[in-house]
Structure 1
Amino acid sequence: MSVTIKDVAKEANVAPSTVSRVIADSPRISPATKKKVRKVMEEMGYYMNYNARVLVSQTTQTIGVVMKHSSSHSFDNPFFSELLSGISKACQENDYSLNLTTGESEEAIFQDVVKMVQGKRVDGIVVLYSKEDDKVVPYLMQQNFPFVMIGKPLVDASNVMYVDNDNVQASNEATDYLIQLGHERIGIVGGEADFEVTKARIEGYEKALATHGCESREEYVKYRRDGSYESTSIVQELLELPEPPTALVVMDDFHALSVITSLKEAGVDVPEEMSIISFNNTIVSRLSSPALTTVDTNADQLGYYSAETLVEKLKKPDMLKRSLVIPTNIIERQSCTERSKIF
């Protein structure tokens, strides 16, 4: 027979209404009483009826997560798995569940969001990206629905809560790292051009070149195409230039692995003939051959604090909107070398 609220109340020597208020995390109940009742609940194996709780509290205890691409495509890249790991940790600490978009196209993902909001399936949403001409964020703002972005909003940033790195500064430091190794011909392989993170990192790259008097060449700037991590054509275009770059800033560890593979297929050694620095410090960077020098963006913290901020907003709807900037640092490994050693 399952344990009831009355059973817990009797064992804890409190009224059943007190147990109900503890379950609802009512501020009317003292921390000491909450601790005592929760201990009894755990010892007796009491599990609350979430359906009943939803009816009483008008909340779902669920957070929606909007993927950058289809879930099947996003999970190819361990960066998104680390984001979700951080989000999951914050949700577990705050007794929330997760609901992920599963659409295979931008429109399908948007319709997933509409269903989450209109169907009252979630209490709030974490959007894992910031993008031009995106339908999701304007819709959430129009609906006055609680959400937090990972990435700086491209419009109306002061009215949107977000968690991000300083991607301009991070890319500036990554490019400066290569310049300090003596490289002057430095290319950058970005993500999709319409995402904020791509724009910010290219801005940081160009600032570093300008600071050191290095030439900024349009032909050295490449973008991912159609969301694909395939790099053969990009590498071929760079190597066929009259003066190919001697170093590359690559937007993501996963893409950097593809770039290294394409360089090897073209007979170019990394780092002896091409130095590579990337971003995110995922497991890919450690398992790559050579191991990647990378900017650690602390993906798990990005995920954790996005969910933590959203939960705080749900508990305090009138709280001031804020943004959090997660620090980055360069992890040196074996994919970069001094330019003097190349020639």
Structure 2
Amino acid sequence: MKYSTTVLFFALIGCKSAHTINNPKVDNAITKNAVQLLEDKRFHSVSIVVLKDGKSITRHFGELTIGKGNKPDDSTLYELASVTKTFTGYIASKAILDKKLNLDDDIRIYLSEPYPNLEFKGEPIKVKHLITHTSGFPNFPPKSENKEAFFEGLRLINIETKPGEVYSYSNTAPELTAYILEKVYQKPFEELVNEFVLKPNKMDQTKFTLNENDRNRLVKGYNDKNELMPNFNRTLWGGISGLHSTTTDLVKYMKLQLDKSNVTVNESHKKLFKEGSDFWEGYHWYIIENDNQLIYRHHGGIYGMQNWFVIYPKQNMGISVLTNASFNETGEILEKVVDNLYNDINAIQ
């Protein structure tokens, strides 16, 4: 693909929002990391969000459509993909505090029919196992074309390890969690997300269901062959994916996650399962904690776009990096961008 000098010039200049941190060094650090990323021609655009000590900056680079030079901006809608799971975790933590759920509940008490297969040698799958990817459920539901088929698929699952002992990433478990949350609150999961997360934090640009104007703002992304990819079609509750958001709304979500006075946030950040010497699972947060760091993070990947969303409570900081490209190495590359940007900002005196 050939680019004119003019297109390249305007594609690489970032679009600055009205919420800019008044520090040119931070701005320069963002620009440096964005330009380095876009040197890899598999990437076409990148949006970067930084929140530090209550002040934020959102910057946009590249082009959303190959060859057109149309930069993303603060109104661009991205699919959050698996970062949606952190919203599921937040509502689950609220349900625990509201005493609607107990982490040690056998999940089958919330199902309308018996599922004798959802245990291992008499050991039941508990709510906490769904939340921490330790249920033994498969990554993808055996059937996911609709909600009725999902429950049919649950009967096909064979639990091969004791629940709570082995981490295995599952997109099946968060969907069942969303269903359980609907049942205990007697409200649709989409309504729970609106009531408990979006409305209180004025995240009016974050939503599951899009109108025509929203769809026009929705990113259409690419794979590594520059082929345009479809957007995700939600057929289940939305516990794993389906939320769309803008960079400015992600700032608001960062502020929520950094609010130490919020008891639901504090519950959702609890370490529920230990994976390594300094790595834990929270309520759909991956938690890194050692002598030098405390990090809450989640990656989101879907057809044609990916993002990393990271919270650093000790530094009172959040970083999100979003791109309109998705291929095998994208997550690792974006993770390095986040790490490098974090180091660059921390080095600024």
Pairwise same-fold verdict (TM > 0.5): no
Please give the TM-score of this superposition, normalised by the length of structure 2: 0.27
Higher relative contact order (CA 8 A, sep 6+): 2
Task: Return the structure number with greater helix share.
Answer: 1
Please give the TM-score of this superposition, normalised by the length of structure 1: 0.28
**Structure with bigger gyration radius:** 1
